[in-house]
Amino acid sequence: MSFVVPAVLPTSREDLEQKLALLAPTLVDRIQIDVVDGRFAAPASWPYNAAPSSEEADIHGKMLPELHHIEYEIDLMCLDAYQAASFWLARGASRLTFHAESVINLSRLIASAHKNYGCGPASCGVISIGLALNIESSLSLIEPYLKQIDYVQFMGIARIGRQGQPFDRRVCTAIRNFRLRYPHIPVQVDGGVSRDTVRDLVSLGVSNIVVGSSILRAADPSAAIAELEAFQSPYGV
């Protein structure tokens, strides 16, 4: 599986389709779509910034492209993450990232995902599930649920929901502490990842890097991905 996971933050359905078309010719086998509701994180992305009638109609629209070789991961930066997941699963997504801080009852969320979506862990789940953790949050927030998920996503920026934010090195300390306690759980980092920060992340045992702006703003996205893939982590999953 690819070490690099390109991230798309769509402003509209057309924007999503254009960005996915840009990434489709690359050699990645996984793409993350960022979903921001404007409440848990801001500003709102598509479909939260669309008219309700448009959002409802689109669930019956076409599937995500290239499903035969691209796995879609949905990063649910929203307060109604469980309901939002249904929208994307109907379009062919197979990985769900829930943010630990977005719900009051994380245990209930994970239990519902297991029951109704066939979520992880990888040994028995139809849909993979991960938990994202903000930089200022304690590991204790997710530790009770580690046996019920497939991966942990550490946010590498202080303000989530926007691409192009500067890398916050506090995440390195969080990853280091996590790896000491849980060396076998896959870890990915999302936010601020670039060729300037990837080497340090690989040295910490990061499994995958989620990269948005430094790929999509590159003159040649394929070359940008290849450059980052050269840092391939032995922990990739």
Looking at residue 1, its pLDDT comes to 75
Domains of the chain: 4-229 (3.20.20.70)
One pLDDT digit (tens) per residue for the chain, 237 residues: 789 999 999 999 999 999 999 998 888 999 999 999 999 999 999 999 987 655 545 555 678 999 999 999 999 999 999 999 999 999 999 999 999 999 999 999 999 998 888 776 655 667 999 999 999 999 999 999 999 999 999 999 999 999 999 999 999 999 999 999 999 999 999 999 999 999 999 999 999 999 999 999 999 999 999 999 999 866 655
53, 54, 56, 61 alpha-carbon torsion, rounded to 10°: 150
Looking at residue 114, its pLDDT comes to 87
Instruction: Give the pair of three-digit tokens for residue 89.
Output: 């699963």
Give the integer Cα–Cα distance in Å for 52 and 58: 10
User: What Å distances lie between residue 127 and 45, 88, 97, 130, 216, CA to CA?
Assistant: 23, 12, 11, 10, 27
Instruction: Give the pair of three-digit tokens for residue 168.
Output: 């916050």
Q: What backbone phi and psi angles, to 5 degrees, belong to 144?
A: -65, -15
